[in-house]
Chains A and B, each alone.
Chain A
Amino acid sequence: MIAQHLPALQIVLPLLAAPIVVLAGSARFAWLFSVAVCWAAFAVSIGLLAQVMQGGEISYLLGSWPAPWGIELRVDLLNAFVLLLVTGTAAIVLPYARRSVRIEIAPEQQGFFYCMLLLCLAGLLGIAITGDAFNVFVFLEISSLSTYALVAMGRNRKALTAAFQYLIMGTIGATFFLIGVGLLYMMTGTLNMADLAERLQPLHGTRPVLAAYAFIVVGMALKLALFPLHLWLPNAYAYAPSVVTAFLAATATKVAIYVLLRFTFTVFGADFAFADQPMSLLLFVPALLAIFAGSLVAIFQENAKRLLAYSSVAQIGYMVLAISLATAAGLSAGIAHMFNHALMKGALFLALGCVFYSIGSVAIRDMAGIAKEMPWTMAAFVMAGLSLIGVPLTAGFISKWLLLQAAFELGLWWLGLLIVASSLLAIVYIWRVIEVAYFQPRPEGRVAAREAPLSLLLPTWVFALANVYFGIETSLPVTVARGAAAALFGAGG
């Protein structure tokens, strides 16, 4: 009975929980309740993935309204994986939130904070699960608006400008997306994705459809922070509360990439995007620039959070680069990296959250000598950092392996060279932090830091160990990514 309704449950749970959290008023209850909801959502997504792996695609009709007219929730391997990623991150991050939020958010705002976080979660899950193009926009707005609020809750006053910047850019992105969906509706009279895919077939040569695709791609490129549309990201990540940064870095951009994939492959079809239009090139060049520009800028950051934010810009570049190869191998490399990157950045940002908890700063200068005082935190940071570099036996290595393999399959050996060269840049920026934390003496005037409490360390280490676990036991991400990639190409014809 419940198993049938899992798709609906996936979004309804956090959506309904959000107002309850506000009404209840107590921050402690808000936290406890949110944790429970996130774990429930995580369980639901595991159930969904298991169902999809067993029985194939699930179609769920909301309120039993038949498909092209009513709203359809559709779960296949790809979005089941994304759902798992989003809920999994939430389930790990929320237990961490209590102590971190207590020092970073004003007491009277804490209830709202959890409400916004749940709304954001509901929005992201909704984007991923829905089979309706307009519905994507609705959930996109839910997640975006709550994200703006979350970023603005950062302690630093600059968080406000960062949130405002994000608001402007994000709204432009969402508007572009809406224009694209509107054009599609004008041409086909439907909003259901599967239906759209069918009805678009004869219309592929027409200008409005082309314009629609262009609007959707640019809109999503803004949301996923593809270079040079990434400008909102570093500030938003740097000034948002630690929990928010970790959650967003691991999930928000991934969901935007998912939308790009869904529209490109399922709605428009791979042939339309890559054979008729020069999508490969249009994604390839910015992606490559993102990788190098992001990594280079990261090297010169003074703030560890900003450093990682720029690293995210670069890492998103890897994902888009993999997708732009337009082969099943490339696509599966991109999907696997979505997952692996969430693990790395989750661990890294949570570790920085621990640092912030102890010394109230994440400026690299202030982290001098901190490894002696916070050995566990920094050990987790190093582990995730090695994964980011792509050291074997970590998740990052698997990403790199798949990506290089995809490049070689196409005979792009020079691209392989560029990719390995770029990971050397990752060594530089990660090692900068490591050297400061491990070798420099504590600066004058900074009081000795204390190791972060267990409730912060534990989630951080779950992420860090996940990097190692999924670097050794690779069957889940790799098989799912390959299956999803094959399915996308199958759907596109």
Chain B
Amino acid sequence: MSGATLILLALALPLVGAIGIAVTGRWEDLREGVTLTTAGALFLTVLAIWGQVSDGKEVALTLLPLLPEVPLAFRVEPLGMIFALVASGLWIINSIYSIGYMRGNKEHAQTRFYICFAISLASTMGIAFADNMLTLFVFYEALSLATYPLVTHHGDEEAKRGGRTYIGLLMGTSIGFLLFAVLYTYGETGTLDFTPGGIMAGKIPEGVAAVLLVFYMYGIGKAALMPLHRWLPGAMVAPTPVSALLHAVAVVKAGVFSVVKVAVYIFGIDFLQTLPTSDLILGIAGFTVITASLIAIRQDNLKRRLAYSTVSQLSYVVLATFILAPLSVMAAALHIAAHAVAKITLFFAAGSIYTAAHKTEVSQLDGIGRRMPWTMGAFAVGALSMIGVPPAAGFLSKWYMLLGAHAAGQWFALAVIIASTLLNAAYFLPILHAAFLKPLSSEAQAHPHGEAPLPIVVALTMTAGLTVLLFFWSAPVVELASALAGMKP
């Protein structure tokens, strides 16, 4: 198949799947079958695209002229490849998990849930393969809207409030800041194509570009830079599979993915080095890393703790990008993948605990490791990856980040990364300690329970395995990430 057909397929498959889910909604098993088939087919498609890219072929598609001058166009480049692989691969595992979770908790409106999930994935593919800023913006907005019904799934007052923060912050920033910045860029440069080396240098004066940079970074609200991070903890009202795939992988990674894209292909790393606000963004990212970790320590609700951990980890990517060294840009790309597999594992575990033991708070987890060894074992792997302990994937990206920061002489970034590693340990290790070493509370002893349903256990074991696998078999991802940073691996 030609590259263009494959891209079209990657965009269309989830949408066709969504229709299929709607049609088969009455027969649960069939509906879940459609979801799994679609997810599998999508992953195979993305793999096929990867095959073509590795062969050095150019994979691109121009769909239609959205505006006379700027078409809806797609092109596969290394970063998008990583993002698409991660999102589509984890969708399969997440679907297995969803089946266990949604049935185990007897959630309502499951058909709507799976439909929105499929549409979200289609939007994610659009973001990953977008060849210009307009296309990216289109799918970025589509993703916000498609995930809104998922965030507000429970339909109660809390969901409504969470949803309001979610859509308000995400769309407020994207229309208020990002659209403005995109249009301004277009007005001055006459193009929005993602171009290696950027499109701004020489066309936009540095002072203006410095301001635009701030607009871009806060316009991409999904990257959750403080103080515009509130939507992410708010989104935790969603069912756990949503938190796991969307708010640990697809949506938030779409945010930092866009940040890297903008930095590398719109501004250009060299041009960024001349801008005074690059350091400002670096500072804000560093601040977010530390502050979000400090907040995470104080959260007793497990999902909220994980959410703040995500806020912190997202800013790692921004921080690494704005160290503005090739090695650190590569680390940023690597971290998108490494954090994805680890964080989805952690959320899977949180959902598993909720399904099996109906526990949501960290303080209730004493001794739970003995009852749910698989879940808590996977949780331990995820947590170690977050801290950056080998043999987990998180170690690799942190390692390259440190190397990059050192090479660029960014002592601030270096200090932030090291300090946050300690903080990560401070909010993850107590959970492991309580789960494995503390005795069961009397209240827990009165309510016996075992492991979560099988699909859940299978899913979280798989992602934990991936987290380790990515450490030992990192070459493919490293290769793509190096290509992005313009380095020979």
Contact = CB atoms under 8 A, between A and B. Distances in A.
Interface of A: 386, 389-393, 398, 400-401, 404-405, 408-409, 413, 416-417, 420-421, 423-424, 427, 431, 435, 438-439, 472-475, 478-479
Contact of B183 (A392, A416, A424, A439): A416
B337 to A, nearest CB: 28
Contacts, number: 77
Contact of B180 (A416, A438, A474): A416
Contacts of B177: 420
B288 to A, nearest CB: 24
A409 B183 CA distance: 10
Interface in B11-70: 64-68
Contacts of B179: 390, 400, 404, 420
B351 to A, nearest CB: 24
A423 B175 contact: yes
A394 B237 CA distance: 29
Nearest to B138: A392
Interface string B64-96: 111110000000000000000000000000000
28 contacts: A390-B175, A391-B141, A391-B145, A392-B137, A392-B138, A392-B141, A392-B142, A393-B66, A404-B180, A404-B183, A404-B187, A408-B184, A408-B187, A413-B184, A416-B180, A420-B180, A421-B176, A424-B175, A427-B168, A427-B171, A431-B167, A431-B168, A438-B152, A439-B157, A474-B68, A475-B65, A475-B68, A478-B68
A401 B141 CA distance: 15
Given A392-B138, A405-B187, A416-B180, 11 more contacts: A391-B141, A392-B141, A393-B138, A393-B142, A405-B183, A417-B180, A427-B171, A439-B159, A473-B64, A474-B66, A479-B68
Q: How large is the interface on B (under 10, 10 to 19, 20 to 34, 35 or more residues)?
A: 20 to 34
A364 to B, nearest CB: 15
**Which 10 A/B pairs are nearest by Cβ-Cβ distance?**
A408-B187, A392-B138, A404-B183, A439-B160, A420-B180, A392-B141, A420-B176, A391-B141, A424-B172, A424-B176
Contact of A439 (B137, B152, B171, B188): B152
A289 to B, nearest CB: 20
A336 B355 CA distance: 53
A22 B188 CA distance: 59
B208 to A, nearest CB: 8
A427 B183 contact: no
Interface in B125-159: 134, 137-138, 141-142, 145, 152, 155, 157, 159
B186 interface: yes
Contacts of A417: 180
Given A391-B141, A431-B167, A475-B68, A416 B184 contact: yes
A478 B68 CA distance: 8
B151 to A, nearest CB: 12
A268 B351 CA distance: 70
Contacts of B68: 474-475, 478-479
B164 interface: yes
A475 to B, nearest CB: 7
Contacts of A408: 183-184, 186-188
A401 B69 CA distance: 12
A390 B145 CA distance: 13
B164 A431 contact: yes
A401 B182 CA distance: 10
Contacts of A431: 164, 167-168
Contacts of A478: 67-68
Contacts of A416: 180, 183-184
Contacts of A439: 152, 155, 157, 159-160
B65 A401 contact: no
A424 B164 CA distance: 13
